Structure 1
Amino acid sequence: MRKTVKFLALAAVSGMAISSVPAFAEQGDILVRVRAINVMPSEESGSILPAFPGEQVSVDNSPAPEVDITYMATDNIGFELIAATTKHSASGVSGTTGGIGRLASTWVLPPTLTAQYHFAPDAAIRPYIGAGVNYTIFYNENASDALEAAVGETDVSLKSSFGYALQAGFDIPINDRIFLNLDVKYLDVDTTATLRTTAAGTQRVRINLDPVVVGVGLGIKL
């Protein structure tokens, strides 16, 4: 993550230093990007309570496609709406639940809106930063076979989350309409997972997912 942030910072400085070329994104333009992303939770888990104090969970990474649309309100200011969905698994890391391994899986839909500042709309490398909000919805939650073998039939649910989003990236035009894009986001995502089991009763665990989302792809100016 640190290397990525340094790379983006250097790109921003370079983009502002490069001599001007004809404007690529201007007021009123709509930019559509398609990226390959990797969603990497930097999770911090509480205990699985009340039955398993001290036992926590980990959440795996997930690659996926992402589509976003940016409307340029001015030459420098844009508003981006991001849409993607990923599937993640939660696993025990110690004790009884660590012995079970994968506990549950869920699909995650985090629609995110950011306001961006594009530093150098006329440069050969066009860096931007953004900040905004995300609303994260969890759906199709399922207990693993291993968990149900241990504690019986289990219903899993995760609470939706509302939080902030931070963003940095840059565009590199290929021609007057097509461009390359590299983008990094940090999403504030906190949830509580509830597991209603046959043998162990109802268990809850608080998880701060807070994923870093790294994406690379192509964009087009409509």
Structure 2
Amino acid sequence: MTRHHSPTARLAARMGSGLALGALALGLASQATAAEDYRPQPDQTPIQSSKNESFFGKTMDYIENNSYGRLGVLRFQYYGSSSNLHVDNATGLAAQAFGPGGSDLPHTGSSAGNTTTLGAMIGLYLPKTNHHLAMEVQLAPPLKLDFQVSGDAVDQSLAPTALNGANGGSIPTGVPPLGKNLGTFKALPPNFTIVYRPWTHTLVQPYVGVGAMYLYTYDKDVNNKVLNAYGEPSLYLSKPVACVGQLGSDFNLPNNMFLNLDVKYVGCADVKSRVSNIKVNSPTLSPTFGPVDVGSVSSTNHFRAVLYQISFGMHF
């Protein structure tokens, strides 16, 4: 059966991530506590550091006057590719249909669906960079994505025949195509980037950034009716770290507000997937021989996605 993380474990993971991010922000801000002028945003009052002010107070002053945030609509668009689906170790009737042992299924693959959701971002200008460099963290609600197959697996039976008939011919299995969607999974999409703005006093402020994203997935569920004929298989997805490239621009508005367009490319990662404990029904063979025990089918997905976001933001 599919393994689920408890709500308590997920909450603890998110709290841990928040504490780690807060500690990082405090560490970066502390580098600026010796400065006499924290260089606030336009129209904000400069804060002069005081020898009597505590370290924590100086740090909070810096964060308050050198941070920004934005909230808007986020589009996750998947562009990845994958290896062929691979039957890991076919035995019995499955060996008659797929061939004994491990075998590739030509012209097939795995993929992920697309989705649109809310997206938020928190940014902090790095000390002593005159607001040219900033650290950004993008956050969003958990993304519920479809786990999909591609190519011939969508509309053609992967095991159309098996065994040999009395006259030496193959026997049709009647196993239907899988269709596009095999199941669903949830993903937490936080990513961290370091952003460079060449101009900091202009009405339009373009920027570039680089960073990383942890491809964390959970609550995996196989709900395909062909694969669930004799119980639900389990879905495994690896959790690598991907690289992030970023392009965007801020369009400044009055009162420290701005509009933002942001595009992030996420790649440089391979996600290994495996659907295990697969037993399918063959209308022509199962009444006599029972379920076709396929075992497990795996693939390696070359992860590539683009995150498009349009947002309203504010400098604090």
CA–CA separation in structure 1 for the residues paired with 2:153 and 2:205: 51
CA distance 1:150–1:179, change in 2 (3 Å): same
Q: Is the 8 A contact 2:70 2:120 kept in 1?
A: yes
Match of 2:66 in 1: 29
Match of 2:270 in 1: 190
Moved more, 69-78 or 46-55: 46-55
Q: Which has the higher contact order (CA 8 A, sep 6+)?
A: 1
CA–CA separation in structure 1 for the residues paired with 2:216 and 2:258: 31
Match of 2:303 in 1: 209
Moved more, 194-203 or 166-175: 194-203
Q: What stretches of structure 2 of length at least 5 have no aligned partner?
A: 1-40, 47-61, 88-102, 156-176, 280-293
CA positional deviation for 1:147? 4.0
Q: Is 1:53 paired with 2:99?
A: no
CA positional deviation for 1:209? 2.3
Moved more, 139-148 or 59-68: 139-148
CA–CA separation in structure 1 for the residues paired with 2:123 and 2:187: 22
- The residue type equivalent to 1:176 in the other structure is N
- The residue type equivalent to 1:197 in the other structure is N
User: Sequence identity of aligned pairs in percent?
Assistant: 20
CA positional deviation for 1:151? 6.4
- The residue type equivalent to 1:89 in the other structure is D
Aligned-residue CA RMSD (Å): 2.3
TM-score normalised according to structure 2 size? 0.59
Match of 1:100 in 2: 178
CA distance 1:204–1:62, change in 2 (3 Å): same
Q: Is the 8 A contact 1:194 1:203 kept in 2?
A: yes
CA distance 1:52–1:24, change in 2 (3 Å): farther
Match of 2:254 in 1: 175
Aligned residue-pair number: 201
CA–CA separation in structure 1 for the residues paired with 2:146 and 2:235: 12
- The residue type equivalent to 1:106 in the other structure is F
Q: Is the 8 A contact 2:85 2:105 kept in 1?
A: yes
CA distance 1:96–1:183, change in 2 (3 Å): closer
More strand by share: 1
CA–CA separation in structure 1 for the residues paired with 2:83 and 2:230: 20
TM-score normalised according to structure 1 size? 0.82
